[in-house]
Amino acid sequence: MKKNFGRIVLTGILVLALLVVTGCGKSNDAGEQGSDSGKLSGTITVAGSTSVQPFSEVLAEEFQAVNTGVTVNVQGGGSSQGVEAVISGAAQIGAASRDLKDEEKARANLVVTPIALDGVAVVVNPANKVSALTAEDIKNIYIGNIKNWQELGGEDAPITIISREEGSGTRDAFSEIVLNKEDIVKDAIIQNSTGAVKTGVAGDKNAIGYISMAKVDQAVKALRVDGVEANEANVKNGSYKVQRPFIYITNGEPQGLSKAFIEYVLSDEGQSIISEEGAFSIQ
Amino acid sequence: MEEALQNQKINILAPTNQLSANHSHSRRRRGEKAIEKILVLCAAIFILAIFLITLFIFAKGMPLIAKIGLGDFLFNTQWSPTKGMYGIGSMFIGSVLITLGALIWTVPLGLSTAILMAEIAPPRIGTILGNLINLLAGIPSVVYGFIGLIVIVPFIRENLGGNGMSLLAGAIILGIMILPTLINISRDSLLAVPREYKEGSLALGATHFQTISRVMVPAAKSGIITAVVLGMGRAIGETMAVVMVTGNAAIIPGSILEPVRTMTSNIVLEMGYASGDHQTALFATGMVLFVFIVILNLSINLFAKGGQGIGRN
Per-residue DSSP letter, A278? T
Return all residues near B93 (Cβ < 8 A) that are at least 6 apart: B77, B252
User: Is A185:A161 a contact under the CB 8 Å cutoff?
Assistant: yes
Q: Is the pLDDT of residue B63 over 70?
A: yes
Residues of A within 8 A of B44 (CB-CB) are: 5, 8-9, 11-12
Q: Is the pLDDT of residue B32 over 60?
A: yes
Mean per-residue pLDDT for B158-164? 87
Which stretches of chain A are assigned E, i.e. beta strand? 42-48, 70-77, 93-96, 110-124, 132-133, 160-164, 189-191, 207-212, 221-222, 224-225, 243-251, 280-281
With bands split at pLDDT 50, 70 and 90, how would you rate the model's confidence at A83?
very high
Nearest Cα to B118, choosing from B176, B189, B169, B180?
Answer: B189
- Of residues B155 and A10, which shows the higher confidence score? B155
Mean per-residue pLDDT for B25-30? 78
Among chain B residues, the shortest Cα distance to A185 is held by B249
The C-alpha atoms of residue B310 and residue B313 are separated, in whole angstroms, by 5
Q: Tell me the three state secondary structure of residue A158.
A: strand
- Amino acid (1-letter code) at residue B165: M
The C-alpha atoms of residue A40 and residue A238 are separated, in whole angstroms, by 38
C-alpha dihedral sign at B95, B96, B99, B104? negative
pLDDT at A17: 52
% of chain B at pLDDT higher than 90: 60
Q: Out of A12, A77, A104, whose CB is closest to B48?
A: A12
Among chain A residues, the shortest Cα distance to B254 is held by A187
Q: Is the pLDDT of residue B9 over 70?
A: no
Least confident of A55-59, B51-55, B224-228: B224-228
Q: Is the pLDDT of residue A37 over 60?
A: no
Q: Is the pLDDT of residue B310 over 60?
A: no
With bands split at pLDDT 50, 70 and 90, how would you rate the model's confidence at A49?
confident
Q: Give the DSSP H or E segment for B23.
A: helix B22-68
The CB-side HSE value for A258 (13 A sphere, CA atoms) comes to: 28
- Of residues B17 and A187, which shows the higher confidence score? A187
Given an 8 Å threshold on Cβ–Cβ distance, is B275 in contact with A80?
Answer: yes
Residues of B within 8 A of A188 (CB-CB) are: 249
User: Is A100:A244 a contact under the CB 8 Å cutoff?
Assistant: no
Q: In which region does residue B79 sit, left (phi positive, over 0), alpha (psi from -120 to 50) or beta (all else)? A: beta
Q: Encode pLDDT of A120-145 as tens digits.
A: 999 999 999 999 999 999 999 999 99
> What are the start-end ranges of the H helices in B69-88?
70-75
Per-residue DSSP letter, A121? E
With bands split at pLDDT 50, 70 and 90, how would you rate the model's confidence at A15?
low
Q: Is the pLDDT of residue B15 over 80?
A: no
Least confident of A38-52, A143-157, A253-267, B293-307: B293-307
Residues of A within 8 A of B241 (CB-CB) are: none
Residues of B within 8 A of A86 (CB-CB) are: none
State the CB neighbour count (10 A cutoff) for residue A219: 14
- Amino acid (1-letter code) at residue B166: S
- Of residues A224 and B18, which shows the higher confidence score? A224
Mean per-residue pLDDT for A181-196? 88
pLDDT at A33: 44
Given an 8 Å threshold on Cβ–Cβ distance, is A189 in contact with B163?
Answer: yes
pLDDT at B14: 47
With bands split at pLDDT 50, 70 and 90, how would you rate the model's confidence at B46?
very high
List residues in chain B touching A: CB distance below 8 A: 1-2, 37, 40-41, 44-45, 48, 52, 79-83, 149, 153-154, 157, 163-165, 243-244, 247-251, 258-259, 261, 268-276, 278-279
Min Cα distance A96 → chain B (Å) is 10
Q: Out of A12, A188, A207, whose CB is closest to B249?
A: A188
Among chain A residues, the shortest Cα distance to B250 is held by A186
The C-alpha atoms of residue B54 and residue B62 are separated, in whole angstroms, by 12
Residues of B within 8 A of A168 (CB-CB) are: 272-273
Q: Encode pLDDT of B88-107 as tens digits.
A: 999 999 999 999 999 999 99
Residues of A within 8 A of B166 (CB-CB) are: none
Q: Is the pLDDT of residue B175 over 90?
A: yes
Mean per-residue pLDDT for B124-138? 90
Q: Provide φ and ψ at A245, rounded to 5°.
A: -90, 150
Q: Out of B1, B81, B251, whose CB is closest to A186?
A: B251
Q: Report CA B18 to chain centroid distance, whole Å.
A: 52
Given an 8 Å threshold on Cβ–Cβ distance, is B275 in contact with A103?
Answer: yes
Min Cα distance B255 → chain A (Å) is 12
Q: Is the pLDDT of residue A19 over 70?
A: no
The answer to whether ipTM exceeds 0.95 is no
Mean per-residue pLDDT for A58-85? 89
With bands split at pLDDT 50, 70 and 90, how would you rate the model's confidence at A166?
confident
Mean pLDDT of chain B: 86
Given an 8 Å threshold on Cβ–Cβ distance, is A165 in contact with B48?
Answer: no
Residue to test with chain A: of B152, B273, B275, B277, most A Cβ within 10 A:
B273
Return all residues near B41 (Cβ < 8 A) that are at least 6 apart: A8, A11, A12
With bands split at pLDDT 50, 70 and 90, how would you rate the model's confidence at A168?
confident
Axis-axis angle for helices B89-115, B277-312 (nearest 10): 40
Distance (Å) of CA A37 to CA A29, A67, A69:
16, 13, 12
With bands split at pLDDT 50, 70 and 90, how would you rate the model's confidence at A11?
low
Least confident of A16-25, A134-143, A231-240: A16-25
Min Cα distance A12 → chain B (Å) is 6
The C-alpha atoms of residue A224 and residue A206 are separated, in whole angstroms, by 17
- Output the DSSP codes for B225-269: HHHHHHHHHHHHH--HHHHHHSB--SS--SSTTS-B--HHHHHHH
Q: Report CA B262 to chain centroid distance, whole Å.
A: 16
Given an 8 Å threshold on Cβ–Cβ distance, is A167 in contact with B272?
Answer: yes
With bands split at pLDDT 50, 70 and 90, how would you rate the model's confidence at B293?
confident
Mean per-residue pLDDT for B172-197? 93
Distance (Å) of CA B205 to CA B7, B74, B119, B218:
56, 55, 18, 18
* Domains of chain B, each with CATH number or no CATH: 2-68 (no CATH), 74-303 (1.10.3720.10)
Q: Encode pLDDT of A246-276 as tens digits.
A: 999 999 999 889 999 999 999 999 999 998 8
% of chain A at pLDDT higher than 90: 49
Mean per-residue pLDDT for A97-120? 89
Q: How many CB pairs under 8 A join A and B?
A: 109
- Amino acid (1-letter code) at residue B88: I
Mean per-residue pLDDT for A30-44? 61
User: Is A114:A245 a contact under the CB 8 Å cutoff?
Assistant: yes
With bands split at pLDDT 50, 70 and 90, how would you rate the model's confidence at B304?
low
State the CB neighbour count (10 A cutoff) for residue B125: 12
Min Cα distance A80 → chain B (Å) is 5
Among chain B residues, the shortest Cα distance to A78 is held by B272
List residues in chain A touching B: CB distance below 8 A: 1, 4-5, 8-9, 11-13, 15-16, 50, 76-81, 83-84, 101, 103-104, 160, 165-169, 172, 183, 186-192, 196, 199-200, 203-204, 207
Residues of A within 8 A of B276 (CB-CB) are: 101, 103
Nearest Cα to A183, choosing from B280, B250, B262?
Answer: B250
Given an 8 Å threshold on Cβ–Cβ distance, is B45 in contact with A12?
Answer: yes
Among chain B residues, the shortest Cα distance to A208 is held by B163
Min Cα distance B287 → chain A (Å) is 20
Given an 8 Å threshold on Cβ–Cβ distance, is B249 in contact with A78?
Answer: no
The C-alpha atoms of residue A54 and residue A96 are separated, in whole angstroms, by 12
Mean per-residue pLDDT for B104-117? 94
Q: Is the pLDDT of residue A25 over 60?
A: no
User: Is A47:A82 a contact under the CB 8 Å cutoff?
Assistant: yes
pLDDT at A13: 57
Min Cα distance B70 → chain A (Å) is 22
Residues of A within 8 A of B165 (CB-CB) are: 189, 200
- Output the DSSP codes for B295-308: HHHHHHHHHHHHHH
